[in-house]
Copies of this chain bind each other. A is one copy, B any other.
Amino acid sequence: MDVRTFACDMERLAPPDLAEDFDAGKIGLIVEGAPEFTTVCCALDPTPAVVNEAIRLNAGMLVVHHTPLWTPLTAVTGSTATLMRSILSARMNVWVMHTNFDYAEEGVNDALAELLSLTDTIPLSLGLVGTCMLAPSEISRRLGCPLRCWGDLSSVKRLAVVGGSGFDPGLIAEAKALGADAFLSAEMKHSVARSSPLPCIEATHYALEAPGMVRLAARRGWHYIDDKPLLSTVP
């Protein structure tokens, strides 16, 4: 497949116009490799382990959610030099779909809702609210990560889910107004927890966003490379 055709396909799937302003210049073709390729790999983050595995698999294209070049660069040194040397030497392309894939139909949040078997879903400005029949332990099992539960979660029927770092006071208020009993996202802050009108379930950023990439890979016949952060709880 050639890069241009692939790009058109990806932009239909996750239109660049859907992205937040802060993603300007940080989505789409972020590293340009060979113009033709046969193998596509997919991952959440382009970590060294992911990149090395993709190269081992002869991937000509690596599709990721988080860009390897978030902070604008005027020097290529240290771990960035190592990573860029691996990618460029292998002539592997890197394609990024970030907030445009969060907002896309069949994107990050839809995959999350499917994984948690949500029904009767209604959209939020980001994420969605649906009926959830799962106990927290089952949510933890399906997501593959431990949870931190803020507040009293004894009677949750309608659950708001937002992939990534979604504990925003405005978004929580919107979810409550639309009937949510609890709010699932990642990266809780003390001040937000203190004033939250809903109990909150905190998973990891990885656990909430990976399902979208896993499902995309499965549907396209790509190889998904898992690289979950090592995380445990005490006690």
Contact = CB atoms under 8 A, between A and B. Distances in A.
Interface of A: 25-26, 28-33, 45, 47, 66-67, 69-70, 72-79, 81, 84-85, 88-89, 91, 136-137, 139-140, 146-152, 165, 186-191, 193-195, 204-206, 229-235
B32 A234 contact: no
A148 B231 contact: yes
A177 to B, nearest CB: 14
17 contacts: A25-B74, A26-B75, A31-B77, A32-B81, A47-B194, A69-B73, A69-B74, A76-B84, A84-B88, A140-B235, A146-B235, A148-B148, A148-B231, A150-B230, A151-B230, A189-B205, A194-B229
B77 A29 contact: yes
A149 B191 CA distance: 22
Contacts of A47: 194
| Interface SS, A side | mixed
Contacts of A67: 74
Nearest to A25: B74
Contacts of A193: 229
B231 A149 contact: yes
Indicate how many identical chains form the complex. Answer: 6
A31 B165 contact: no
Contacts of A136: 234
B137 A165 contact: no
A230 B193 CA distance: 10
**Most chain B beta carbons < 10 A, residue from A28, A140, A190:** A190
Contacts of A32: 76-78, 81
Contact of A147 (B28, B88, B229, B234): B234
Nearest to A30: B75
A75 B233 CA distance: 37
B191 A188 contact: no
Nearest to A24: B74
B187 A234 contact: no
Contacts of A72: 72-74
Given A88-B89, A151-B230, A189-B187, A30 B74 contact: yes
Contact of A89 (B85, B139, B191, B234): B85
Contacts of A85: 88-89, 91
